[in-house]
Amino acid sequence: MISIIPIILIHTLFYVGFSDDMPLTTTLPQSPTSPLPHFHLYNQNSNSYPSSTPLEESKRRSPPPRRRSPPPPPRRSPPPPPRRSSPPPPPPRIRSPPPPRPPPPPPPPLLFDHFKLSQTWPPTYCKLKNNDCVSPLPQKFTIHGLWPSKEGVEIRDCNKEGINVNDFVPIKTRLNENWPALFKKDHQEDANIQLWVNQWYAHGTCSDQLFKFISYFEETLNVYDRHIILDILEKNGTKPGGTYPKQNILNANQTHTLFRPQIRCERIDNLDYLYEIRLCLTPTLKLEYKDCEIPYSGCRDTEVYF
């Protein structure tokens, strides 16, 4: 038994989609279980069946659905151009050191070419002063002065600038012991200060290119302590109270200092008395011994009384 539903469908198709003059052929299934029949339209003009149904033909004629093209890859911005490495910084500018300062002008030339450290033998001094001397009288050579000299001549009285005698205080004990005034005074300490002041104005002021006021006295004391004349003479067999060849006295001192001293004599009762021994020194801050140009002063005889 042929089902009514497909016939109705077929009739509907004919009615809606095709003209009446197109015959319709069907191929019916042979069994109820067969699939629905396929319908073919017969084209009278071509005396053939179409190869496909109108639905199929419309599907065939319609363009296939457009395939959605995949989204374009995200646009990558071009990589930045390689960074130009900045040129290395210029080396630090080394400033050339400033030119050295010109040396200070040389000091003015010294007014003298050597010093004389004059040391007095007190018994001879006292005999010259008719024994009007301090008591007790020192029994050693004492300082008379440190004298700037040029070509054997003492330079004196270079200026009269004021001084402060209180500056003597730190070295006053040494001065009283080794640089005393030998003439008798009512106030011996005042006499000592007066001697030192006189020596400064007469001789020290001419050496102030090297030694200022108090330094002049300090350096004089230091050199005096280097060379104890009485000890040197006694070690050489020359003791107070006798007459000796003046050459022996000169040689004893020269052996100790390695330089020639100057022997100073005073004539008393037709006899040469040993009065002073003078050591010559370089005109430098560090006083060094040097030869005295004139070995004897006032010594007439070959022997002197000591």
CATH number at residue 193: 3.90.730.10
Are residues 246 and 161 part of one domain? yes
Average pLDDT value for residue range 236-248: 95
Which residues are bridge partners to 26 per DSSP?
A: 39
Judge if 183 and 290 occupy the same domain: yes
At residue 3, does pLDDT exceed 50? no
Whose structure tokens read 């010093």?
Answer: 115
Q: Does residue 157 belong to any structural domain of this protein?
A: yes
Domain assignment of residue 220, yes or no: yes
C-alpha 300: how far from chain center? 63
| Residue 33 sits in the same domain as residue 133 | no
Query: For residue 284, is it within any domain?
Result: yes
Cα 224 from chain centre: 40
Residue 240 vs residue 152, higher pLDDT: 240
Is residue 227 domain-resident? Answer: yes
Domain count, the chain: 2
User: Domain end: 56, 74, 99, which one?
Assistant: 56
- Higher-confidence residue of 141 and 71: namely 141
Confidence at residue 142, expressed as pLDDT on a 0 to 100 scale = 98
Q: Quick one: 129 and 278 in the same domain?
A: yes
**Within this chain, do residues 51 and 126 fall inside the same structural domain, yes or no?**
no
Q: Is pLDDT of 12 > 60?
A: no
State the average pLDDT for the chain.
82
Last residue of a domain, one of 40, 56, 72: 56
Domain's final residue, options 41, 56, 71: 56
pLDDT, mean of residues 131-152: 92
- Alpha-carbon torsion 245, 249, 254, 259, what sign? negative
In the chain, how long is the greatest CA-to-CA distance?
199
Does the pTM surpass 0.85? The reply is no
Q: Are residues 174 and 248 in the same domain?
A: yes
- Residue 138: inside a domain: yes
Residues 150 and 12 in one domain: no
Q: Is residue 251 part of a domain?
A: yes
Question: Within this chain, do residues 265 and 133 fall inside the same structural domain, yes or no?
Answer: yes
**pLDDT at site 21:** 47
Give me the domain span that covers residue 8: 4-56
Let me know how long the chain is: 306
Instruction: Name the more confident of 68 and 222.
Output: 222
> In this structure, are 148 and 239 located in the same domain?
yes
| pLDDT digit string, tens, across residues 268-277 | 999 999 999 9
pLDDT value at residue 28 = 44
Tell me which of 19-28, 95-104, 283-292 is least confident: 19-28
244 lies in some domain: yes
CA distances in angstroms from 139 to 116, 170, 232, 279, 306, listed in the order given: 22, 25, 14, 19, 12
Report the pLDDT averaged over residues 204-209.
90
Mark out the alpha helices in the chain (DSSP H runs).
4-17, 54-61, 122-128, 172-178, 188-202, 213-226, 229-235, 246-257
pLDDT in tens, 244-265: 999 999 999 999 999 999 999 9
Q: List, for residues 110-133, the tens digit of each pLDDT value.
A: 778 999 999 999 999 999 988 789
For 17, 48, 52, 64, 65, the CA distances from 60, given in Å and listed in that order, are: 17, 19, 9, 8, 11
25 lies in the same domain as 126: no
More confident call, 41 vs 96: 96
| 129 and 269 inside one domain | yes
Nearest-angstrom CA–CA distance, 112 and 115 = 8
Q: Is the pLDDT of residue 24 over 70?
A: no
For residue range 40-72, what is the model confidence (pLDDT) as tens digits? 444 455 455 455 555 555 556 666 667 777 777
pLDDT at 6: 45
In-domain check, residue 90: no
Q: Is 161 exposed, middle or buried (0-12, 13-18, 19+ CB in 10 A)?
A: exposed
Same domain? 126 vs 45 = no
pLDDT of residue 2: 46
Over residues 161-170, the pLDDT tens digits come to: 888 999 999 9
More confident residue, 224 or 44: 224
